[in-house]
């Protein structure tokens, strides 16, 4: 019993450590909280299969693309939590934060060190490309995003990428057609593409809240 309790304690400490180091947003997103019935076009069996983390073992990546508010970030972050629980080193970042950080590395002449932060984890989650149009001030540096994707590609390390920018618009959005084609080529080579088309869950919740208070008028 003592050995069993010590094993459990060590595992819990390891999970807490991996979650802290992942920089996943709080509160943590869980697959159990995702409303699959609200997005019937999304295959629940596919998502639950991905939750086994076999895609990391097979050195594969995920591209979640679709409309705003359909749950791309929720699924990406929930899979990140599961990866931490299974002992994988995970790092979460938004696309804008990643490129802004690397852009600062260019000016401060410590880009290689900053790149290692994104290259070393077993799973890198790059969330919300296209989430905020203010990103355009930093995402024109497509070659910096390419450096991360290319290094991870050659090291066979998994990536989860979420975006509401359609593939054909990536070149315009990132401002560099050549680097963009190279990024897409590497992402799609070993990636499972998941398109989520449907209504915004946040908008739905807002409408439900509005209805709740309208009853009191």
Q: What is the pLDDT of residues 5-15, one digit of tens each?
A: 877 788 899 99
Please name which of 159, 34, 151, 50 lies closest in space to residue 95, comparing C-alpha atoms: 159
Please state the rounded mean pLDDT for residues 137-154. Answer: 80
19-214 maps to which CATH number? Answer: 3.40.50.300
In this prediction, residue 141 has a pLDDT band, given cuts at 50, 70 and 90, of: low
| Lateral strand order in the sheet of 191-196 | 90-94, 123-129, 158-163, 61-66, 191-196
Residue 134 has pLDDT above 60, yes or no: no
- pLDDT of res. 209: 57
Please name which of 50, 42, 92 lies closest in space to residue 67, comparing C-alpha atoms: 42
Q: What is the pLDDT of residues 18-31, one digit of tens each?
A: 999 999 999 999 99
- pLDDT of res. 101: 92
Structural contact between residues 90 and 80, judged by C-beta atoms closer than 8 angstroms: yes
Residue 135 has pLDDT above 60, yes or no: no
In this structure, of 49-58, 89-98, 151-160, 207-216, the range with the lowest mean pLDDT score is 207-216
Please state the rounded mean pLDDT for residues 107-124. Answer: 96
Model pTM score: 0.88
């Amino acid at each position: 019993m003592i050995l069993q309790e010590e094993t459990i304690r060590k595992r819990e400490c390891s999970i807490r450590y991996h979650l802290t180091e992942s920089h996943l947003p709080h509160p943590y997103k869980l697959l159990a909280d995702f409303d699959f019935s609200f997005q019937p076009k999304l295959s629940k069996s596919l998502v639950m299969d991905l939750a086994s983390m076999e895609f990391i073992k097979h050195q594969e990546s995920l591209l979640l693309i679709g409309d705003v508010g359909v749950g791309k970030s929720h699924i990406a972050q929930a899979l990140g939590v599961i990866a931490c629980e299974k002992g994988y080193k995970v790092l979460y970042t938004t696309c804008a934060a990643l490129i802004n950080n690397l852009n600062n590395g260019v000016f401060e002449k410590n880009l290689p060190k900053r790149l290692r932060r994104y290259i070393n984890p077993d799973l890198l989650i790059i969330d919300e490309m296209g989430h905020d149009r203010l990103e355009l001030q930093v995402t024109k540096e497509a070659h910096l995003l390419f450096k991360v994707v290319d290094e991870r590609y050659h090291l066979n390390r998994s990536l989860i990428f979420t975006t509401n920018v359609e593939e054909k618009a990536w070149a315009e959005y990132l401002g560099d057609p050549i680097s963009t084609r190279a990024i897409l080529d590497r992402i799609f080579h070993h990636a499972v593409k998941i398109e989520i088309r449907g209504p915004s869950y946040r908008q739905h919740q807002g409408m439900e809240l509005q209805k709740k208070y309208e009853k009191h008028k």
